[in-house]
């Protein structure tokens, strides 16, 4: 009796893991990643950004209309019912979205399936603006499953976003999407071999012992990276900043050059990277290139403005003249000194045009707040300069003023990215979020963690996109915290500027 129960429970425990297209592509990236995603899901460092998911869903839904009316197989049905529903729909509908199939435990849902007289076409929709190899693997797997299910797959296509598309007031999905036939890139023998290997991997309780490899970083940063380097010394070669490429770090790692002690004795670092390692190992005092900093400070003139924008990216543009993924500015903070050693002033703008164009109001206010020919300090000028140029091309009546602001921008970041001021705690980063606490370690007023609700740029973006759905009280509270966050960004620049001013 007891033996039988044990046997039954053992049988119950043996669950054969199946493949899906997302598992298949994880396997393509790295066998260990595929295995970890099933057996150690809690070890991930970061889950996928909400906005990335939202963009993907919006683009997927939009693409469904590419070929006119369609039958949608509802994802909420569950996989078995989706497959049944698909079987019933083939022959009745010429376009089926989320058409689902299973061949011997290999599941696939096709974003868009077109049923023609002599066979079917598969369309895989991506929200990106180019095709990467992984997309070919993805559609190859789907093609394999459908062929095994007995369908005559005539063509396989990748549908992706045309980043040259400009919204003219009416969305044209035929121009918004690019459709590329990829039949000749599909290798079904390769899929066959991969499926056997991936099935074996996911049905084993032994973690694959994969070395760190280029898939840890390319085409995406792997969410298991921290897990996979947990046995390495801290800090290690992967913590070196100053643009040491991942390929180069990987090569050093494979050559056994891993700890900072290993690195200091190898010849593979440039001066800045070496300085980062040396400052850490020998606990060196701050390095300050006085000559460069004094010259930089003497190039500034008053009134002096400190500007920072917040923005979001809109994958499906809804503002006339904008393109997919264009950054849409909705907020700025502006600190300023009218004269040297004078009083510090602050102005700010946060749009309430949540459903329309937030940039027009922002530009009008910005042109009132920053007079012509003013010196404007920013941190990382490429962002603000590009936004100003884009907005100048949208609002021709404000164009000359916006371009004048742009032409008078001076970037504070090179002082730190060029290592003319380096403190050990910057740890190889020149992001203001690292520079600030390194220069003012004990100043709690500059600590982003002390802010409420919004602590970083991505949270500001999410907050703005949320505002339209909030009740008045919640909206006001969130707006207040968004303003505080952005204000700290420019106040941080003021504090850094003041510190540099003291260097004689």
The residue ranges that bind ligand SF4 (CB under 6 A) are 30, 32-33, 36, 210, 212-213, 215-216, 222, 224-225, 228
In the complex with ligand SF4, the residue whose CB is nearer, 228 or 316, is 228
Q: At closest approach, how far in Å is the CB of 466 from ligand SF4?
A: 32
Least Cα distance to 100 among 72, 67, 121, 127 occurs for 72
Instruction: Tell me how far, at minimum, the Cβ of 36 lies from ligand SF4, in Å.
Output: 6
Using alpha carbons only, give the angle 478, 483, 486 rounded to the nearest 5 degrees: 125
Burial of 33 (0-12, 13-18, 19+ CB in 10 A): buried
Nearer to ligand SF4, 36 or 432 (CB): 36
Closest separation in Å from C-beta 48 to ligand SF4: 15
Tokens of 476: 């006001």
How far apart are CB 212 and ligand SF4 at their closest, in Å?
5
Nearer to ligand SF4 among residue 65 and residue 219 (C-beta) = 219
In 3-state terms, what secondary structure has residue 418? Answer: coil
**Rounded least distance, CB 216 to ligand SF4, Å:** 3
| Cβ proximity to ligand SF4, 220 vs 372, nearer residue | 220
- 157, 182 in Cβ contact below 8 A? yes
| Least distance in angstroms from the C-beta of 34 to ligand SF4 | 8
Give SS3 for 46.
coil
Residue located via tokens 């003012």: 440
Classify residue 324 by its DSSP letter: T
- By CB neighbour count within 10 A (0-12 exposed, 13-18 middle, 19+ buried), where does 238 fall? buried
Helix H or strand E encompassing 377: strand 375-378
Residues 6+ apart with CB under 8 A from 469: none
Contact status, residue 186 vs residue 136, Cβ threshold 8 Å: yes
Find the helix packing angle between 472-501 and 290-298, rounded to 10°: 120
**Distance in Å, CB of 185 to ligand SF4, minimum:** 23
Q: In whole angstroms, how close is the CB of 47 to ligand SF4 at the nearest point?
A: 15
Residue 331, both tokens: 């907020």
Least Å distance, CB 211 to ligand SF4, is 7
Distance CA 3, CA 329 (A): 68
Q: H-helix or E-strand containing 139?
A: helix 133-148
Name the residue nearer to ligand SF4 (CB basis): 201 or 215: 215
Which residue number, 231 or 291, has a Cβ lying nearer to ligand SF4?
A: 231
Q: 215 or 481: whose CB is closer to ligand SF4?
A: 215
Nearer to ligand SF4, 43 or 278 (CB): 43
Q: Would you give the end-to-end CA distance of the chain in angstroms?
A: 88
354 to each of 50, 62, 178, 320, 361, how far by Cα in Å? 19, 21, 29, 15, 12
**Alpha-helix runs per DSSP H in 14-129:** 21-29, 31-39, 50-63, 79-89
The residues near 12 (Cβ < 8 Å, ≥ 6 apart) are none
Q: Are 113 and 99 in contact (CB under 8 A)?
A: yes
Q: Which is nearer to ligand SF4, 34 or 412 (CB)?
A: 34
Shortest Å distance, C-beta 83 to ligand SF4: 31
Closer residue to ligand SF4, CB minimum distance, 224 or 430: 224
- Helix-strand-coil percent breakdown of the chain, rounded to 5? 50, 20, 35
Longest dimension (CA), the chain: 91
Q: Which is nearer to ligand SF4, 48 or 166 (CB)?
A: 48
Question: CB of 456: closest distance to ligand SF4 in angstroms?
Answer: 24
User: For residues 4 and 245, which CB has a smaller minimum distance to ligand SF4 in the complex?
Assistant: 245
Tokens of residue 190, six digits = 């390769």
Task: Determine if residue 501 is left, alpha or beta; phi over 0 gives left, psi from -120 to 50 gives alpha, anything else beta.
Answer: alpha
Q: How far is the CB of 470 from ligand SF4 (least distance, A)?
A: 38
């Amino acid at each position: 009796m007891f033996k039988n129960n044990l046997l039954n429970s053992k049988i119950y425990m043996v669950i054969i893991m199946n493949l899906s297209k997302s598992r298949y592509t994880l396997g393509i990236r790295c066998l260990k990643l595929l295995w970890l995603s099933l057996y150690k899901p809690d070890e991930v460092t970061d889950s996928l950004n909400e906005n990335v998911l939202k963009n993907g869903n919006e683009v997927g839904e939009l693409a469904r209309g590419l070929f006119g009316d369609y039958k949608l197989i509802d994802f909420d049905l569950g996989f078995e019912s989706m497959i049944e529903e698909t079987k019933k729909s083939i022959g009745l509908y010429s376009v089926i979205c989320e058409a689902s199939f299973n061949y011997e435990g290999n599941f696939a849902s096709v974003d868009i399936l077109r049923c023609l007289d002599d066979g079917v076409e598969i369309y895989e929709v991506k929200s990106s603006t180019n095709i990467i190899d992984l997309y070919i693997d993805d559609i190859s797997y789907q093609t394999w499953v459908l062929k095994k299910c007995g369908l005559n797959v005539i063509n396989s296509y990748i549908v992706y976003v045309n980043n040259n598309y400009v919204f003219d007031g009416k969305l044209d999905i035929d121009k918004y999407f690019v459709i590329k036939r990829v039949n000749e890139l599909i290798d079904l023998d390769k899929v066959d071999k991969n499926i056997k290997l991936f099935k074996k991997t996911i049905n084993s309780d032994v973690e694959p012992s994969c070395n760190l490899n280029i898939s840890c970083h390319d085409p995406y940063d792997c969410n298991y990276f921290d897990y996979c380097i947990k046995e390495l010394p801290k800090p290690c070669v992967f913590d070196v900043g100053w643009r040491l490429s991942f390929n180069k770090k990987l090569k050093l790692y494979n050559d056994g050059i891993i700890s900072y002690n290993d690195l200091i004795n190898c010849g593979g670092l440039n001066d800045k990277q070496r300085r980062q390692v040396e400052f850490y190992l020998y606990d060196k005092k701050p390095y300050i290139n006085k000559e460069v900093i004094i010259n930089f400070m003497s190039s500034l003139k008053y009134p002096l403005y400190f500007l920072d924008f917040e923005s979001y990216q809109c994958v499906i543009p809804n503002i006339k003249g904008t393109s997919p993924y264009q950054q849409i500015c909705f907020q700025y903070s502006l600190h300023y000194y009218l004269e040297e050693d004078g009083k510090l002033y602050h102005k700010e703008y946060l749009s309430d045009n949540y459903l329309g164009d937030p940039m027009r109001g922002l530009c009008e206010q910005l042109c009132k707040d920053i007079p012509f020919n003013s010196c404007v300090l920013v941190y990382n000028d490429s962002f603000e300069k590009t936004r100003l140029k884009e907005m100048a091309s949208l609002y021709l009546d404000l164009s000359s003023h916006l371009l004048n602001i742009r032409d008078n921008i001076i970037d504070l970041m090179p002082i730190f990215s060029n290592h003319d001021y380096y403190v050990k705690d910057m740890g190889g980063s020149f992001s203001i979020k690292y520079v600030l606490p390194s220069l003012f370690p004990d100043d709690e007023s500059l600590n982003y963690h002390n802010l409420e609700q919004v602590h970083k740029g991505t949270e500001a973006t999410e907050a703005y996109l949320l505002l339209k759905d909030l009740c008045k009280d919640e909206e006001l509270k969130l707006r207040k915290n968004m303003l505080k966050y952005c204000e700290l960004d420019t106040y941080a620049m003021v504090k850094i500027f003041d510190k540099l001013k003291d260097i004689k």
